[in-house]
Structure 1
Amino acid sequence: MTFKDIALCSVFAVALPAGQTLFKLAAIESGRLGGSIVSRLMNNLPLWGAFAWYGLTAILWVYILSRVPLYKAYAFSMAGAGLVPLLAWLVFKEPVSWQAAFGFGIIMIGLLVVANAQSA
């Protein structure tokens, strides 16, 4: 993988947990808003922001896949999934167990192995 490929995949890996953070903010906002579920969804700015963010992220993903093999690019998305608990802890003060932190460490080691793998 080139430096640009790694940079693009890294941006994607960070974009995924950012989107999940927006969805969590949307859930919190939904609880604050009154009215019907339809009204709460329609007036929920974090939710619409999350939808827009994921739309942009999808465009980035298609571009990445035009440059990088799927198996390598997808490994970075797993790193993004591992960042979600970290953001949950930092932003929302949610408890994260040592097992979750350890699991994220394993994901990061796997990412390094996959990113440095030679194509068959």
Structure 2
Amino acid sequence: MPKPLLAWDVMLLIMINIALLLTGQTLWKIGLQKIGGFSLANLSAIALSPWIIAGLVLYVIATGVWFSILSRMDFSLAYPLQSLAFVFGVLLGWLVFQETIPWTRWFGVAVIVFGVYLVALPVRQ
């Protein structure tokens, strides 16, 4: 019997990768808020911020996970699945940073989810 297109181990890796990327981005946002934003005047504070450094570490780990994903599935499937990070990013903005999300953005999130569903459908030949 052929192996399913989206094996659970690969989907788990994709979700771990997305979680690492989103956590890294969240740490960067928190770090930049604590420093007062990005500017050339505070580059050293940014470079030495534990929030920024932790986010970078998570990005390095996420890259290792991404290498594992790319070695196990087609790029044309893996990369669109990665777009679920945008969906979870909107949710994080709403939940963690208390951002107001307009209905158009929620609609865009729904379009992304539907697109991922279409991309993940098994290929019928």
User: TM-score under structure 1 normalisation?
Assistant: 0.86
Sort the Cα spacing of 1:119 and 1:64 in 2 relative to 1 into closer, same or farther, 3 A. farther
The 8 Å contact of residues 16 and 77 in structure 1, kept in 2 or not, is answered as: no
Tell me which moved more, 87-96 or 12-21: 12-21
1:88 aligns with 2:93: yes
Q: What is the match of residue 75 of structure 1?
A: 80
1:27 aligns with 2:32: yes
Q: Which has the higher contact order (CA 8 A, sep 6+)?
A: 1
Q: What is the match of residue 15 of structure 1?
A: 20
1:101 aligns with 2:98: no
The 8 Å contact of residues 18 and 85 in structure 2, kept in 1 or not, is answered as: yes
Q: What is the match of residue 57 of structure 2?
A: 52
Whose helix fraction is larger, Structure 1's or Structure 2's? 1
Classify the secondary structure of the residue corresponding to 1:93. coil
Separation in structure 1 between the aligned mates of residue 75 and residue 100 of structure 2, nearest angstrom: 33
Q: Deviations over 1:73-100 (max 9, x none)?
A: 1112111022112101111111111111
User: TM-score under structure 2 normalisation?
Assistant: 0.83
Classify the secondary structure of the residue corresponding to 2:36. helix
Separation in structure 2 between the aligned mates of residue 13 and residue 116 of structure 1, nearest angstrom: 20
Separation in structure 1 between the aligned mates of residue 18 and residue 44 of structure 2, nearest angstrom: 32
Runs of 4+ displaced beyond 6 Å: none
Q: Which runs of 5+ in 1 are unaligned?
A: none
User: Cα offset for 1:119?
Assistant: 8.0
Identity over aligned pairs, percent: 26
Q: Which runs of 5+ in 2 are unaligned?
A: 1-5
The 8 Å contact of residues 15 and 80 in structure 1, kept in 2 or not, is answered as: no
The 8 Å contact of residues 75 and 114 in structure 1, kept in 2 or not, is answered as: yes
The 8 Å contact of residues 77 and 120 in structure 2, kept in 1 or not, is answered as: yes
Tell me which moved more, 15-24 or 43-52: 15-24
